[in-house]
Amino acid sequence: MDRALRNFYDGAPRNVIPAKQDTSSQRLRQLRSLLSLGTPKPDGSMVGPFVFRGGSGEYTAPAAGLEGFVYGEEKAAASFGADSIRHHLQDYGRYLDDLLSPIPWAAEARGNVKAILAGPGSDAAKYDSLMAFVRQYTGILQRQAAASDKSRWIRQARIYEIFPRAYTLAGRRAALGRPAGSGRPFFADFGAADLEDIQSMGFDAVWVMGIFPIGERNQSGTGGGSPYSIRDHESLNPALGTPEDFKGFVSRAHALGLKVIVDFVPNHTSMDSRLLAGHPEYFLHARTEPSGEGWFAAGPGLWVRHGGFSVFGSVSFWNDTAQVDYSQEGLRREMSRIVRSWVERFDLDGFRVDMAYLDLNDNFGRTWDVSMPPREFMEQLITETRAAYPETAFMAEGYDNWDELSACGFDLIYGKNNMDRPGGHAGWYDALQSRSPAWLRAAIERAEYLQWQKGGSDMLDFIGNHDEASPQRAFGPWLRGASFLTLLLPGSQLFYGSQEAGFDAGGGAGQEPKSIPFNVPVQVDWNSDPEIARFYQETFRAAAAVRSGLGSPVLKALRPQGDPAWVGYALLPPGAAKPGLLVLANPTGQSVAVDFHDPRLDTGWVGSLPPYGYAAVEPSAR
């Protein structure tokens, strides 16, 4: 046994990592590749998730890399029996060698794997030694990645989304029994007390949506237009205040410990945008009048594509927008510069990137039939921004391409829908809306893995946002259970300001399904539904008590026994072996009996849940 292996078995693996702790962006990318993204093979393909085969079934690891491998081996052993997957020993060796070999500083760990496989002892003993080493090594790299990742704050952030045009500060203050305020522009009027109200609900970040000037050409509806048809990506909408007003808003938020996030809308501008006027070459355009839909005249001898997206092989268009062209390097540099300028001028903490997956190279090139540069724009944007401002966080509105967005460096990706990917992906929001216990269990399992791993993106969970129907319409009688199950989750969350009052102005005849439609004037009524308001205040207090009592708890999915209609998860204090709390819910219209014991956690509970019921209970050992 060599010195490194002796150190490992002595419990002090001093030589499995380099002595020098390099926190550079290059090292962080290498850590993320080893942990969760995969590394390149000699043939140019990427190391993918390992597929475990045992008995008559198989289990695909939830990600490439060490984290997916370690997590997947544990799940496969639990599903098929540990003995049924031990035949993979040599497969493990080849997989780990492929994964580790491109990273120079992983050479000793690679050698350790080979030494274990070539050493004395039975295959069963080698299997146990190999998995013990890989788990230990993975934990070391996880801790390094977490320590090096300066934008990691957003993975624990509770984010409150504000739509200034509809937010009605005066009405909110009146509902809270406070004076209406000065009537000054939004960001000048939004004071420390208003931010404290948000903070008191348990939120530690605000995302202010719709802060840019909106285009006038082909503007939709009568409510001021879509806030995503942007006339100038680099300017603040003057109706909301001056740049100094916005700086003051950010400063007041920071003084309270709140982070501030804004949109970056990369895919399109308004039809009358400043960027189009100055740089038509940055847009998909033609110099002779084209045939077909989706074009507009932008000037003499200039026709420009409307912004759009691919749906089942055809393109749908937003007819108040102009489509930028990410095959153009000049556009990429300009968009990256604009994002950095917002951080430089206003000390912003992060960006929510609108429809981020549309502008990945494969998607953009296929949708618009253009040749793309080799580098992903999203990776370029995030890398260049963090080179200057390492703590800047990025969350992606993404409905596909989870792994590609994760590889670009996004901290969070929308947890809306299922995605077809190796290892699967169950979206939180759609699972809630389905009321399917099986789907919800899959979403909880996915959340468990994503919150544990450190190398890839995490999932941003929500019960609504500016695009979705109100929770009342989305969930019906399951509203409270769906909200409770979500709001007690650890990790990052998004909550749309106005939902805490039960406000809903959408869904009527001729209306958008959004709870705050863009196409008509809307002002939030902060006294909309006192019963829902009381429920959310109680649930916010419960969630705050959980975080206060358990710190940043570890999420573990519960596996139902007996009646399969209930769902739930356990919350463990950091470093603890047993849960401090069980969160249970019944998404069905029938009462369910809960009677289970989970030997992994040495915990269980016996009771019942009414139709659409929910509970947070102390676990009992059985």
| Amino acid making up residue 557 | A
What lies within 8 Å, CB to CB, of 445 at 6+ separation is 426, 557
Per-block mean pLDDT, blocks of 10 residues, the chain (622 long): 29 36 77 98 94 92 98 94 95 98 97 97 96 98 97 98 97 95 93 98 98 97 96 98 99 99 99 98 97 95 97 93 99 99 99 99 98 98 97 99 98 98 97 98 98 98 98 98 99 98 88 92 97 98 96 92 89 94 98 92 93 94 58
Write the DSSP assignment of 11-63 as a string of letters.
T--TTSS-SS---SHHHHHHHHIIIII--B-TTS-B----EEEETTEEEE-SS
Q: 170, 181 in Cβ contact below 8 A?
A: yes
* One-character DSSP codes across 585-608: E--SSS-EEEEEEETTTTEEEEEE
**The pLDDT of residue 161:** 99
According to the model, what pLDDT value does residue 6 have? Answer: 28
How many Cβ atoms are within 10 Å of 202's Cβ, its own excluded? 20
* Answer CATH for 554-617 from 2.60.40, 3.30.450, 1.10.3710, 2.40.50: 2.60.40
What was the pLDDT predicted at 25?
Answer: 84
In sequence order, which residues have a C-beta less than 8 Å from that of residue 330 and are 6 or more positions away?
A: 279, 281, 282
Q: What's the pTM value of the predicted model, to 2 decimals?
A: 0.94
Question: What b-and-e string marks burial along 11-32, b requiring 16 or more CB atoms within 10 Å of the CB?
Answer: eebebbbeeeeeeeeebbebbb
The region, left, alpha or beta by phi > 0 then psi within -120 to 50, assigned to residue 289 is: beta
- Tabulate helix, strand, coil % of the chain (nearest 5): 40, 20, 40
- Record: fold of 152-268+328-550: TIM Barrel (3.20.20)
How far apart are alpha carbons 455 and 357 in whole angstroms?
A: 19
Give the start-to-end residue ranges of the domains of the chain.
3-148, 152-268+328-550, 554-617
Alpha-carbon distance of 12 to 611, in angstroms, equals 52
pLDDT value at residue 622: 55
HSE-up of residue 16 (Cα within 13 Å, Cβ side): 24
Closest CA to 389 of 324, 342, 440: 342
User: What gap in Å lies between CA 612 and CA 485, rounded to an integer?
Assistant: 11
